[in-house]
Amino acid sequence: MNAYDEYMRGIVQPMREELVNAGFTQLMNAGDVAEHMQESKGTSVIVINSVCGCAAGLARPAVIEAVQTVEKKPQHLVTVFAGQDKEATAQMRSFFEEVPPSSPSIAFWKDGNLAYFIPREQIEGQMMESVRDHVMDVLEKIVE
């Protein structure tokens, strides 16, 4: 591993832990992603994490608060890290090629299909509360 990779690993570790500590499972390679996407039943909230400020200040806090607050809980909370776990992120994006790559973003996968997608454009520049409410609204509609 080169010095840059080691440096980035240290930078992103707290960003990974923020979601993991809230109950998200990291899918760090293509095999993990394929297994989850093909085997999981019910609803998955998928956070495509990133190092940008809107991930730190908006996406991660909003989705964490939403899943902790909402009455209808998704069955699965998973995350891939764009720019870090490249194979896992590419594999994840292959499951919803109809939407342009976007990070951070939040995908809602239900029973083998993309049920809803919140791209970066609907996160960046928003208030955290409005992103949280958006996530909660989606979950109230799609989780049984």
Q: Which of 52, 59, 82, 139 is catalytic?
A: 52
Adjacent-strand bridge partners of 49: 81
Q: Which of 19, 54, 106, 118 is catalytic?
A: 54
54 is catalytic: yes
52 is catalytic: yes
CB 95 within 8 A of CB 109: yes
What does the alpha-carbon distance between residue 69 and residue 71 come to, in Å, rounded to a whole number? 6
Catalytic residues: 52, 54
